[in-house]
Structure 1
């Protein structure tokens, strides 16, 4: 990937983590619609006129009571059973928003797989492997990072698994 590293003087923890990992990425600032029908990730796709399958949302879940981070396309829905299988667990449920915010240090809609306050296993939907880059949160609702999914996975020690159901939205 031949993107130029872009730096901000006062970056988010996600940007600091990306820089510390030596990731090549591009920053994308997003002016969201007044009403985010379908959530921030789908709104980002609409505003940027980009295929929603290339915009990935970061969702926090619990598998057998332990936190797990799932990164899935905006065009799909997290399959909780598949997420549980992907980390060797039995039962998964979505984490409450306030618990996700406390654990990650980010606000809902701006949770990034990079630079979370407390690390947890990260699973990226396997559809990302087919893409040259994916857009993930840069740690704020209005800031995203365009990055190679393979580089992202290496930086956050994630693995790929089929955890999204296409065409349905979380």
Structure 2
């Protein structure tokens, strides 16, 4: 497994301090984020999952704790939109350039508006996908927010 991905290169370019953590990815896991949290021995509230959605027909990225679900109403409100829906996996892969299970908010082919669940800002560190299955990056949540030019808002159900 390569520890240098578009995601890690984007973090380096943004001068973000991070560490790389690998684990055995289980393609049959019912919930990939929870499997990652268990595999690296971290609380699921600190292992964030990256989801791609459409807001009023335009792509957005939403990052939430792996043990939580996104509220489409709250996601729409975070961006002052009307209607949010999850993006189909094939569309998410094409847009981001990453495969499902390895989608990172960092280094996507096309930058899109991004929101991070506000509760994650209270954690001393979080883990996010590093751009491939079985690869997580550990960093401070405020640094992730800065590197992504993201907003923090309540978006969980």
Q: Determine the structure 1 residue equivalent to 2:28.
A: 35
Mapping for residues 82-121 of structure 1, pairs under 5 Å? 82-121=74-113
Change in Cα spacing, 1:132 to 1:109, as seen in structure 2 (3 Å) is: same
Q: Determine the structure 1 residue equivalent to 2:62.
A: 70
Unmatched tracts of structure 1, length 5 or more? 1-7, 166-170
Is 2:34 the partner of 1:49? no
C-alpha deviations, 1:126-168, integer Å up to 9, x for none? 0111101110000001101001010010011001000012xxx
Q: What is the alpha-carbon root mean square deviation over aligned residues?
A: 1.5
Q: Determine the structure 1 residue equivalent to 2:13.
A: 20
Q: Determine the structure 2 residue equivalent to 1:168.
A: none
User: How many pairs align?
Assistant: 157
Q: 56, 61, 70: which one pairs with 2:53?
A: 61
Mapping for residues 135-146 of structure 1, pairs under 5 Å? 135-146=127-138
- Residue 164 of structure 1 aligns to a residue in which SS? coil
User: How far, CA to CA, are the matches of 2:26 and 2:55 in structure 1?
Assistant: 33
Task: After TM superposition, give the deviation of residue 47 of structure 1 in Å.
Answer: 1.2
Q: After TM superposition, what 4+ stretches of structure 1 lie above 2 angstroms from structure 2?
A: 32-35
Unmatched tracts of structure 2, length 5 or more? none
Task: After TM superposition, give the deviation of residue 21 of structure 1 in Å.
Answer: 0.3
